[in-house]
Amino acid sequence: MPPTSRSLDEAPWRTAVGGLWDEIGRLQYELLLGHGLRPRHRLLDVGCGCLRGGVHFVRHLEDGHYYGIDSDSDLLDKGREIELPRAGLGTRRVHLACRDDFDASDFEVGFDFALAQSLFTHLPGESIALCLARVGAVLADGGRFFATFFEAPAGKASLAHPLGGVTSYRESDPYHQTRADFEAWSSAAGLEVTHHGDFGHPRDQRLLEFRPIR
Ligand SMILES: C[S@@+](CC[C@H](N)C(=O)[O-])C[C@H]1O[C@@H](n2cnc3c(N)ncnc32)[C@H](O)[C@@H]1O
């Protein structure tokens, strides 16, 4: 029997990336669309999971222009084998790589857009710094990297987010960071950071944008 949309909503790979499949999938798609993502662009989805946003991006972009990396091969398989066909996109060409070092140089293209949705919320500071350097290195001229995070004031070991009911932590997953953290990490990576703030995320994540310093 084919899965119903209700049973799919409860599928383990969807809950593994945080659920809210339709809402957060569409949110990230509309976010990049609003920032100018066009079908001709190439997009790198960092920590793409099982393609919650990916299904929307693959539909929007020219064939072969969606690239995703994730450390979990099972999530990548579920995206390719279940979510893309279910969205009517089973014949589309996508580039997916399983790796945890944020190195997308093997794809051998420059990216107009990169996105890390709900990735920094699971990473310690040294991994975020590495991610910024590695993704910054594969941006095309004029390329932009958008990322979400839990924002906290300096000195907070834990922070309850009434919107969404999540508690984030300085030293453990789910992580929060300060604006000053990102100023330091981005400047070390040769990037400038813009704080866009609230972008309608249902669990209180905030939006950042990174561009190479000219
Ligand atoms: C909350 S999920 C979000 C997935 C996707 N961006 C979305 O919105 O559905 C976080 C993802 O980051 C991936 N991840 C965690 N650490 C990673 C790393 N070091 N490199 C690549 N992916 C990583 C996890 O496997 C998971 O798929």
Q: Nearest C-alpha to atom 14 of ligand 1 is from which residue?
A: 47
Cβ(79) to ligand 1 under 6 A?
no
Cβ(205) to ligand 1 under 6 A?
no
Q: Nearest C-alpha to atom 27 of ligand 1 is from which residue?
A: 49
**Position 121 pLDDT exceeds 90:** yes
**Position 4 pLDDT exceeds 80:** no
Domains identified in the chain, total number: 1
Query: pLDDT tens, 16-65?
Result: 999 999 999 999 999 999 999 999 999 999 999 999 999 999 999 999 99
Domain with residue 116: its CATH number is 3.40.50.150
Q: What are phi and psi of 177, to 5 degrees?
A: -140, 165
Contacting residues for 140 by C-beta, under 8 A, at least 6 apart: 42, 109, 110, 111, 112
**Position 3 pLDDT exceeds 70:** no
Query: pLDDT tens, 122-156?
Result: 999 999 999 999 999 999 999 999 999 999 999 99
Percent of the chain surpassing pLDDT 90: 95
Q: pLDDT value at position 6?
A: 66
Query: pLDDT tens, 60-77?
Result: 999 999 999 999 999 999
Q: pLDDT value at position 1?
A: 53
Give strand pairing partners of 139: 111
Cβ(52) to ligand 1 under 6 A?
yes
pLDDT averaged over every residue in the chain: 96
Query: pLDDT tens, 159-203?
Result: 999 999 999 999 999 999 999 999 999 999 999 999 999 999 999
Counting runs of H as helices and runs of E as strands, what totals does the chain give? 8, 9
Q: What range defines the domain where residue 27 resides? A: 5-212
Q: Is 93 exposed, middle or buried (0-12, 13-18, 19+ CB in 10 A)?
A: exposed
In ligand 1, which atom is closest to the CA atom of 115?
A: 6
Place of tokens 């987010």: 161
Q: In sequence order, what DSSP letters do the residues of 43-96 get, joined into one string?
A: EEEET-TTTTTHHHHHHHSPTT-EEEEES-HHHHHHIIIIIHHHTT-TTS--EE
